[in-house]
Structure 1
Amino acid sequence: MERNSNIPIRNIYYMLSYAYQTLNLSEYKHIGTERFENVKDLYAEILSIGIPVLIRGGLIKEYVCVEESSTVIKGKIDINSSVKKNALVDKKLVVIYDEFSEDILLNQIIKATLVFLSHSAKIIQKTRRLFYGFLPYFAEVSDIEMNRQLWKNVQYNRQNIRYQFIIDVCRYLFEELLLEENSTYLFTKQVQDEQRLSALYEKFIYSFFKRETDYLVSRPQIHWNVDDGFIEALPIMQTDIVLQKGNKTLIVDTKFYSENMVTRFEGGASKQKSNNLYQIFTYVNNWNKKSTEIVGGMLLYARTTTLNQPHHTYNIKGNKISVLSLDLNQDFNGIKADLFAYAIQFFK
């Protein structure tokens, strides 16, 4: 990936600000005025502020299942385990009960991140000491090994949603440091960067239109327009962003790739990526529109350094389909102006 991996740190901060409303809290205000040499420093600074905010609010607790040998009867008695573990020899029984505890995955991830960062030579000493000083607050939380699979088991609900931003930044920073430490991971790092920034890019575009415009902004699933009602094995059509105003609806699909157009051979003409074009066209044609509704589609790529970038508008079967690119390396005011202009092209 050429240009996308070099998005200015300030613009990554702005993207985070839109994607996560948490960054608008007063505790984070000074970050927006600081200059960071690299994205690792930005992530570390966010954690140095955000983790104390979580601590002050109280670490979240959940009921966890505990199994232990005890002389006190509580919960359920597991006779089979009591026999297998010879607990009866010590006049104990294996009991199973639920305990309201801080020792849950979200807190375990934060603790493991603090341990990892406090020993990382990639983090300045002052920040390492700060992270080490947070560890006593996680004394009741188990130690776990850091790996990229941890985040796949994270689930959010109304009670723990305040953790989402910090947990995501923990992942961003861990992957940034882990993949940088081993040269064999260089290709993997490129893929991870693209995936990570792709998710952030989608969140940013959605939140930008939600906050900065008066469009009705949503991301619904689109149902297949089948004749007989049979939809078994058909893939889910999950939109990234849908903008609506008056009788017009614009379905936006964000794309973050190292290459935005394809050529069949060196020196050949650049073409749109067919799968992406088929996707947005399918979304538009399956949208359950009202009789007077006008529906269009937009593929919004993050611009790369390649000479040929998508900037085209097609009228296909009565539907307007735009394929555009957004330059994330320009000043943020330019990014805002482009996003406003791209939407107005359809809604004017």
Structure 2
Amino acid sequence: MKQNNDIPIRNIYYMLSYAYQTLNLSEYKQMGVENFENVKDLYAEILSIGIPAIIKGGLSKEYKTVEETSNVIKGKIDITSTIKKNAVVNKKVAIAYDELSEDILLNQIIKATLIYLSRSKKLSQEKRRLFYGFLPYFSEVSEIELDLNLWKNVRYNRQNIRYQFIVDVCRFLYEQLIFDESTDSQKMKEIQDEQSLSSLYEKFIYAFFKRETEYKVSRPQIQWNVDDEFTEALPIMQTDLVLQKDNKTLIVDAKFYTKNMVARFDGGTAKQKSSNLYQIFTYINNWKKGPDETLAGMLLYAKTTAVDQPNHNYSIKGNQIFVVSLDLQQDFSDIKKNLLEYANHFLE
């Protein structure tokens, strides 16, 4: 079956625009979306504009502890290390001090991405040379090997939030390139395609309702409704999106898969994915309802080209659960219309 990576480039651009308001800045508005044949070229163009902006603003720095032996005392003297290294013989002592450094994870990810892109045959020679030309600005940054787990350790604050869009696009582009180069089976490609756009889909859905509606929009963690206040080892219930108006609350969980429904055997009846239903049902049952609050849940799938698509309404223990599919291949004006209709159906 065709996969969700068939989403038109223009719609991916719109999703990025909602998920990251940075894309609305003047530097990016000159991009002609029609010029891109695939999503890799779109991501590469964004980086070719965004990384110079990061450089121009100055690379972010953080305090890092430096340990060395020196005849100049600064910071703290490490007596034990001084004795072990026999540094006193050379009239030096082991010291440790904090120093502002560009050699931090955010810069390391960008540098590693630049190195990878400058060597990738999936990009044009012009783009490879351009990315290679940015590397001298990262001379004080260590070289690390790119790995998707790196992004799990990224943390943002007020000082480095300007990095978020570029660092995320680095991941999107790296995923696309590495999966294209390493995929050796259709099944593995389906899994990889799913991973490469699911994060963007979640960010887009949240940002869309934040910008396009007057609902109260949030993504809170739901606390377990335990009887004895013992919650150790219970998993975190992190919502993708919660929409509220007056006394109505809609908990939305965004889902991006290559297959939205499953059959237990070939030719069998397609069913809802049980884990997804269990998840939204658990959210509803642990939500602390107000005295007059009406609560519902929604599984918002990105539609695939399979015949069977989720489009169901359930009433379970007095609460409604909506299961709907959003067609990301349609014109973006229709995407907006569908999203508003899904929410308004319950909240209005």
Common fold by TM > 0.5: yes
Cα contact 2:13–2:33 (8 A) shared by 1: no
Q: TM-score, normalised by structure 2?
A: 0.93
What does residue 122 of structure 1 align with?
A: 122
Deviates more, 1:202-211 or 1:61-70: 61-70
Cα contact 2:262–2:272 (8 A) shared by 1: yes
Tell me, yes or no, if structure 1 residue 260 matches structure 2 residue 265: no
Tell me, yes or no, if structure 1 residue 327 matches structure 2 residue 327: yes
Structure 1: where are the runs of 5+ without partners?
none
Measure, in 1, the Cα distance between the counterparts of 2:186 and 2:315: 41
Query: CA shift at 1:217, angstroms?
Result: 0.6
Deviations 1:269-300 (A, max 9, x none): 22222221122122222221222211111111
Structure 1 pair 145/268, CA: closer, same or farther in 2 (3 Å)? closer
Task: Report how many residues are paired.
Answer: 348
Amino acid at match of 1:104: I
Query: CA shift at 1:324, angstroms?
Result: 0.6
What does residue 77 of structure 1 align with?
A: 77
Tell me, yes or no, if structure 1 residue 5 matches structure 2 residue 11: no
Within a 5 Å distance, the mapping from 1:96-245 to structure 2 comes to 96-184=96-184, 188-245=188-245
Deviations 1:195-219 (A, max 9, x none): 2311111111011000011111111
Amino acid at match of 2:340: F
Deviates more, 1:76-85 or 1:296-305: 76-85
Deviations 1:201-257 (A, max 9, x none): 111101100001111111112223334434343332221111111221111111111
Measure, in 2, the Cα distance between the counterparts of 1:327 and 1:65: 50
Measure, in 1, the Cα distance between the counterparts of 2:64 and 2:153: 15
What does residue 93 of structure 1 align with?
A: 93
Query: CA shift at 1:189, angstroms?
Result: 4.8
Amino acid at match of 1:214: E
Measure, in 1, the Cα distance between the counterparts of 2:183 and 2:206: 35
What does residue 246 of structure 2 align with?
A: 246
Amino acid at match of 1:329: Q
Secondary structure of the 2:148 match is coil
Amino acid at match of 1:132: Y
What does residue 29 of structure 1 align with?
A: 29
Amino acid at match of 1:147: D
Amino acid at match of 1:218: S
Deviations 1:146-181 (A, max 9, x none): 233322322222211111111111122222222322
Structure 2: where are the runs of 5+ without partners?
none
Cα contact 1:10–1:35 (8 A) shared by 2: no
Measure, in 2, the Cα distance between the counterparts of 1:295 and 1:183: 43
Secondary structure of the 1:31 match is coil
Cα contact 2:40–2:173 (8 A) shared by 1: yes
Structure 1 pair 305/221, CA: closer, same or farther in 2 (3 Å)? same
Amino acid at match of 2:59: L
Cα contact 2:19–2:200 (8 A) shared by 1: yes
Measure, in 1, the Cα distance between the counterparts of 2:156 and 2:221: 20
Structure 1 pair 78/104, CA: closer, same or farther in 2 (3 Å)? same
